[in-house]
Amino acid sequence: MTRKAEVGVVMGSDSDWPIVRETATTLDAFDVACECRVISAHRTPETAAEYAAGAARRGLKIIIAAAGSAAHLGGVLAAHTTLPVIGVPMKGGALDGLDALLATVQMPAGIPVATVALGRAGAVNAAILAVQILALDRPALAAKLRKHKTMLKTKVRQANSRVQADWEKKDA
């Protein structure tokens, strides 16, 4: 049985897919269904507006928008919906993602786009932020988030143990 998508994951180009796939994979790890689309704010602006305007009616609760260069995708989608929009600026281009970061984070008052880090970290963090929003009224999802945070702490402790053991070898 196919789960109904709660998160729309939109990218401006299929060249973003290798990074944006991390968003979908992270959502899937939390059992949050998503749909993935390529929609350009500049080349298909009508499609972007229609997608955002109909998102809530289709059952979406959050939209994640990944785009590089001028990165207006998040803002265009946010202009046409009342759903939360999370922007993922993509690295690349002449400014290596700085232009995408600035375009995503500098939205006019009234059209918010939550902005996460560039690249892979941003793709994962966008998914985690979406899960955190969804977990506000879903105790089982909140429990999965707590388990995820515990796993992150465990990884750091293990990494510290490895570094300490390696450092102590210098004195041996």
Q: Are residues 13 and 27 in the same domain?
A: yes
Residue 171 in domain = yes
Using the Cα atoms of residue 85, residue 43, residue 121 and residue 116 in order, give the sign of their dihedral: negative
Residue 65 in domain = yes
pLDDT at position 2 is: 72
- Tens of pLDDT, residue by residue over 5-14, are 999 999 999 9
Total count of domains within the chain? 2
- Tens of pLDDT, residue by residue over 57-69, are 999 999 999 998 8
Domain range spanning residue 155? 140-172
Residue 1 in domain = no
What is the dihedral angle through the alpha carbons of 161, 167, 168, 172, rounded to the nearest 10 degrees?
140
Distance (Å, rounded) from C-alpha 56 to C-alpha 82? 8
pTM above the 0.85 mark? Answer: yes
Residue 126 in domain = yes
Q: Are residues 37 and 89 in the same domain?
A: yes
Residue 80 in domain = yes
